[in-house]
């Protein structure tokens, strides 16, 4: 499915940039948080509960990282008590779509991956 039928930029060209994005969505909690936000905007404590046992610190770190790459928006409503809403940007939704293809790939290749790991462990240490 995901064969590059498009112009397909070279991997080398924007290599470090791609690595940055790959690392970003590869962060421990990034995929879950993006999945959650993909179904609509959420507040901090909502995410905190839904993604438990994530800690406040890691949720902040994750959100800040995604925000700094333009994948997530952070909207502060100056109310009392404070209220902050997070949501995916257009780019963020697009990228999450790609992450989803990885989910599908993993689902499809789960057995093969496990078999490879078992075989590798047997052959080596």
> Which residues are near DNA by CB under 7 A?
27-29, 43-46, 48, 53-58, 60-61, 63-64, 74, 81-84
CA quadruple 39, 26, 2, 12: dihedral, nearest 10: 140
Q: Which does 7 bind (CB under 5 to 8 A by kind): DNA, a second copy, none?
A: a second copy
**Least distance in angstroms from the C-beta of 29 to a second copy:** 9
- Rounded Cα distance between 67 and 97, Å, is 17
Least distance in angstroms from the C-beta of 23 to DNA: 7
**DSSP-derived pairing of the beta strands 42-43 and 72-77:** unpaired
Select the binding partner of residue 105 from a second copy, DNA, none (C-beta < 5 to 8 A, by kind): a second copy
From the list 69, 63, 16, the residue with the least C-alpha distance to 41 is 63
């Amino acid at each position: 499915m995901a064969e590059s039928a498009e112009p397909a930029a070279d991997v080398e060209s924007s290599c470090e940039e791609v690595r940055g994005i790959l690392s970003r969505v590869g962060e421990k909690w990034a995929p879950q948080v993006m999945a959650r936000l993909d179904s609509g905007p959420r507040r901090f404590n909502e995410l905190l509960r839904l993604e438990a046992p994530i800690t406040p610190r890691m949720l902040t770190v994750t959100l800040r990282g995604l925000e700094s790459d333009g994948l997530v928006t952070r909207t502060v409503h100056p109310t009392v008590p404070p209220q902050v809403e997070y949501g995916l940007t257009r780019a963020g939704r697009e990228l999450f779509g790609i992450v989803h293809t990885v989910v599908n790939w993993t689902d499809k290749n789960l057995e093969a991956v496990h078999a490879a790991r078992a075989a590798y462990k047997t052959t080596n240490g």
